[in-house]
Amino acid sequence: KHEPLVLGIETSCDETGVGIVRGHTLLADAVASSVEEHARFGGVVPEVASRAHLEAMVPTIERACDTAGIALRDVDAIAVTSGPGLAGALLVGVAAAKALALGLGKPIYGVNHLAAHVAVDQLEHGPLPEPCLALLVSGGHSSLLRITDVTVGVDPMGATIDDAAGEAFDKVARLLGLPFPGGPHIDRAARDGDSVAIDFPRGLSSRRDLERHRFDFSFSGLKTAVARWVEARERSGEPVPVNDVAASFQEAVCDVLVRKALDAASSEGIEDLLIGGGVAANSRLRAMAEERASRLGIRVRVPRPGLCTDNGAMVAALGAEMVARGRTPSALDLPADSSLPV
Ligand code: KG4
Ligand code: ZN
């Protein structure tokens, strides 16, 4: 059977990703990141991201083809993230994908970035269990999604009402004087800390909040609580126990994420939980999810960290699945849609 060879392009945020897959097999995953250009601003600057995508696009496509050992004309289809994401950044990827599709005479598939975060797991663990529940946590999104058919889309059950989980990690890291992006640094610092040293608040978890926001997240109150705690410590002249703050903060985030994800899965009778997005690399999140899920008979799938962060392989993986399932390609006037639901 001929497995589709698909090239995927991802530019929704600050990584220019070009991935190449054949069916469920990953052949290349080239990523150029502008994260260092954003570091001094403490967050992603849209204009800087768009320009960086433009500069990185052609070299990243070439690098992916070299790694995969293919020529562009070999591909069966082009897939591209059409949204959600930064409008200007998405436009660069969509324009590049259209140019390739038109020049090569191959079909183009516009894909949903969140669905791609889910589909990427096929490259590591084989066919996706459907239905499944996805917890997507990154610097740009924190969502609970129900997935019946990943090639059709995602059904949002809940999302953050303020900061994304990764954003909370980044902001708290900044408070603690750790570099951007802060997630990996908090993860590391927390290993030598006491996760019950400080009792930080669990957002949207009171009985009243649960009535309206059962599957939603809120991390800005937690961030403020950490800031107040650190300030009080500094005022008192005592040193800030960075490891304990990191561990206690991380515990609060992971506790809410895992509790709500498992509640959502149970309420839908879904037995497979998939965790994706940059924050899925968090060691505590993985361990806690596996431990609590196993008690409920729920299986957990987490792609390896390199596939969890934004990349082109996830877009190619979803594109290949669309080809395999006979989905109709997008039209060549496919728009970039920054406002797709998260
Ligand atoms: O998916 P991603 O690469 O880009 C988007 O934001 O879409 O996610 C990046 C986010 C950053 O906020 C980063 O701090 C966080 O993922 N992150 C982590 C870890 N590794 C990356 N957060 C917690 N623990 C980690 N080990
Ligand atoms: Zn993402």
For residues 108 and 231, membership in a common domain is answered with: no
Distance from residue 105's CA to the centre of ligand 1 (Å): 36
342 falls in which pLDDT band (50, 70, 90)?
low
Let me know if residue 338 belongs to a domain: no
Per-residue pLDDT, averaged over 55-61, amounts to 97
| In contact, 110 and 82? CB cutoff 8 Å | yes
* Tally of domains within the chain: 2
pLDDT over 70 at 278, yes or no? yes
Let me know if residue 339 belongs to a domain: no
Distance from residue 140's CA to the centre of ligand 2 (Å): 7
The residue written with tokens 């596996």 in the block is: 290
Find the ligand nearest to 112 CA: 2
Per-residue pLDDT, averaged over 203-207, amounts to 96
Q: pTM, whole model, 2 decimals?
A: 0.94
Question: For 35-56, what is each residue's pLDDT tens digit?
Answer: 888 877 877 889 899 999 999 9
Decide: 244 in ligand 1 pocket, CB within 6 A.
no
Let me know if residue 116 belongs to a domain: yes
pLDDT at 42: 72
**Atom 8 in ligand 1: residue holding the nearest Cα:** 278
Per-residue pLDDT, averaged over 207-213, amounts to 96
pLDDT over 70 at 15, yes or no? yes
For residues 170 and 218, membership in a common domain is answered with: yes
Per-residue pLDDT, averaged over 262-281, amounts to 97
pLDDT at 340: 80
112 falls in which pLDDT band (50, 70, 90)?
very high
Let me know if residue 335 belongs to a domain: no
141 falls in which pLDDT band (50, 70, 90)?
confident
Decide: 81 in ligand 1 pocket, CB within 6 A.
no
Per-residue pLDDT, averaged over 57-84, amounts to 97
Per-residue pLDDT, averaged over 60-73, amounts to 98
Say whether 185 counts as a known binding-site residue.
Answer: no
For residues 236 and 101, membership in a common domain is answered with: no
For residues 190 and 252, membership in a common domain is answered with: yes
Decide: 278 in ligand 1 pocket, CB within 6 A.
yes
**Atom 3 in ligand 1: residue holding the nearest Cα:** 309
For residues 276 and 174, membership in a common domain is answered with: yes
ipTM over 0.95: yes
For residues 155 and 279, membership in a common domain is answered with: yes
Q: Which residues of 184-201 are buried (b: 16+ CB within 10 A; e: fewer)?
A: bbbbebbeebebeebebb
C-alpha distance from residue 294 to each of 18, 135, 262 (Å): 35, 16, 10
Decide: 13 in ligand 1 pocket, CB within 6 A.
yes
**Pocket perturbation via mutation, ligand 1, pick of 309, 314, 338, 342 by most ligand atoms within 8 A of CB:** 309
| DSSP assignment string, 263-301 | HHHHHHT--EEEEESGGGG-HHHHHHHHHHHHHHT-EEE
Let me know if residue 67 belongs to a domain: yes
Average pLDDT over the chain reads: 96
Per-residue pLDDT, averaged over 101-112, amounts to 98
pLDDT at 34: 81
Let me know if residue 330 belongs to a domain: no
Per-residue pLDDT, averaged over 82-109, amounts to 97
Decide: 311 in ligand 1 pocket, CB within 6 A.
no
For residues 78 and 163, membership in a common domain is answered with: no
pLDDT over 70 at 322, yes or no? yes
For residues 134 and 277, membership in a common domain is answered with: yes
Alpha-carbon span 215 to 156, nearest angstrom: 10
**Atom 13 in ligand 1: residue holding the nearest Cα:** 183
pLDDT at 41: 81
For residues 206 and 183, membership in a common domain is answered with: yes
List the domain range (segments joined by +) for residue 254. 130-302
Decide: 181 in ligand 1 pocket, CB within 6 A.
yes
Kindly give, in sequence order, each residue whose CB lies less than 8 Å from that of residue 215, ignoring residues fewer than 6 positions away: 144, 157, 158, 260, 263, 264
Residue 284 sits in a domain whose CATH number is 3.30.420.40
Q: Report which ligand 1 atom has the smallest distance to the Cα of 167.
A: 12
Let me know if residue 320 belongs to a domain: yes
Decide: 309 in ligand 1 pocket, CB within 6 A.
yes
Q: Sign of the CA dihedral 196, 183, 164, 124?
A: negative
Alpha-carbon span 68 to 60, nearest angstrom: 12
For residues 80 and 179, membership in a common domain is answered with: no
Question: For 324-338, what is each residue's pLDDT tens digit?
Answer: 999 999 999 999 999
pLDDT at 2: 83
pLDDT over 80 at 59, yes or no? yes
pLDDT at 1: 65
Decide: 120 in ligand 1 pocket, CB within 6 A.
no
Residues of the chain with pLDDT > 70, as a percent, come to 99
Let me know if residue 28 belongs to a domain: yes
For residues 152 and 257, membership in a common domain is answered with: yes
For residues 184 and 286, membership in a common domain is answered with: yes
Alpha-carbon span 143 to 127, nearest angstrom: 22
316 falls in which pLDDT band (50, 70, 90)?
very high
